[in-house]
Structure 1
Amino acid sequence: MIAYPQIDPVAFSLGPIQIHWYGLMYVVGFVAAWWLGRRRAHRLGLTHDDIGDLIFYSALGVVLGGRLGYALFYGSEQWLADPLWLVRIWEGGMSFHGGLIGVLVATLAFARKRRLAYLQLTDFIAPLVPIGLGAGRLGNFINHELPGRVSDVPWAMVFPPMMGVGPEPRHPSALYELALEGVVLFAVLWWLSRRPQQQGFISGLFLLLYGAFRFSVEFVRLPDPQLGFIAFGWLTMGQLLTLPMMVVGVLLVIVAYRRQQTVVALSGR
């Protein structure tokens, strides 16, 4: 059993303004994506200024889509009871799936403006995302969010009372997601995207792997208390929203694989 680290969710204060670690993790994610994107900008014929614009578009999609998605999927009662809660992002409450939709819309606008093939652009963006996902999960952990289910594994943690759970040791589910959605997903996508792939393959793999990781970790993560289990006594909202991602991911990977096989067959003639 491991004690939950005592980390103040507020990183520092500037007079009456409090800067939270949770918000700083978003900055880390956007800066990392900007830096990595500049390294590969030449692949799409983009300039460093174009990468800055792309990150700006994506940041708007993440923040607006993530917050609205959370309000729609998880926090409709809280939103209706306190409309100003919607703008208090530093308190937590962001939905990955809402953020994903926001980014897809934002990048569609960018692709049309730069006359790029949409899947070509999403393949470029996918490897830039996991560092931000991992940083976000670290922000969740520091912000006392996403407690796990009761467990007797040696690394189980006793979560602070402020998280609304009992004194039993629990899975540090946010750290699992940091490792899988952040470290592992980045390593796989960045390594595979070093060489040209069939269009849609990297995007599909991102959807498939993230979906599989998220679906799996939900089994050791407490469901959102305001929702509980959505179906069959075990399916959570996170799992329900992840299923379409995995289906689309599989389809994109299959299509890309078949295209690659066609290319190989034609080149062998």
Structure 2
Amino acid sequence: MVKIATWNVNSAKARLPNILGWLDRASPDVVLLQEIKCETASFPKGDFEAMGYNCAVVGQKSYNGVALLAKQPVEDILDHLPGSPDDVQARYVEATVGGIRIASIYLPNGNPVGTEKYPYKLAWMERLRQHAQGLLKTERPFVLGGDYNIIPAAEDVYDPQAWETDALFRPESRAQFRALLNLGLTEAFRALHPDEQHAYTFWDYQAGRWPRDQGIRIDHFLLSPQAADRLVECRIDKGPRAEEKASDHTPVVLELAD
């Protein structure tokens, strides 16, 4: 069994004790982190290496940043999403681990919608779709995991009406997400839990969203057909969100058969 986790940690340094504690308990083989919020050189690599993880990190000062940690060798690292050489935001890292191509994704938020941030989000998603199309041609198993900043459907948000105009739930955003799925990718959580309610991965710090369970599901795993054939489980671990100094996201854990 291969266990892959994704988690937007909302600052690797600020959350380090939480992250290390969870890794010790959950012991995933591969960990995809988003919003590490530090430059590559200042990522606390040594702490993860001490736990047996090899690290591929793409950071930038104060914002964004992604990492891929694995107990096996991390090979053929791609440190950006192809398609826009001028895009310097640290949002994508991809590598081969144990024969599986795996990416850690921090998709743009896109808010406020009336600014350049929303077209950037949609263009980034189109680049991701084109890249996924290329990966499919290899016919190798791949996993695209991370914070997609997309609420796929009404059951994935506590109040759909309140989110109608938000970049995470606008029709254009969801259409781009469907375009990814329409390539033949499988959204792991809903494939196994089609009717589960209150299956959220993010709860805002404001307005008591966590204690009232008013969340959204925006952290996803998309699998190629070859990876989907090996899908055993995909679950949300809400435990870390209840801890002191928690990230506003919680981990999602994917299990694939060997």
TM-score, normalisation: structure 1: 0.27
Higher strand share: 2
TM-score, normalisation: structure 2: 0.28
Higher helix share: 1
